Amino acid sequence: MILELDCYRSLLESTKNLVYVDYLTIPPWNRRSIENPAMYKGVGSSLLKFAIEHSFDLNYKGRIGLHSLPGAENFHRKFGMVDLGYDSNK
């Protein structure tokens, strides 16, 4: 996971900073479609939870942002993330 700090503002609250998750991936052998059961279940969730906690540590109140691949959208929705649509810049 790669996090960017103080580079992005929230699209929902344009005056507020957020932690931007620039890159988040898990190894192939941890994907259920390849290895069932996953070798290290919960790694992706733990990484995303870390980004949220880091946002709280920076007084960003848990705000994070990311651009999701279509196959990961349901995963991010489980964390209450809002889909703001396609971004042609990404």
Q: Show pLDDT as tens, one digit a residue, over the chain (90 residues).
A: 999 987 777 777 778 889 999 988 888 777 777 878 877 788 889 999 999 999 999 999 999 998 888 888 888 888 888 888 877 777
pLDDT at 80: 86
Q: How many CA atoms lie within 13 A of 69 on its CB side?
A: 6
- Tell me how far apart the 2 most distant CA atoms of the chain are, in Å: 43
36: DSSP letter:
S
The rounded distance, in Å, linking the Cα atoms of 81 and 67 is: 11
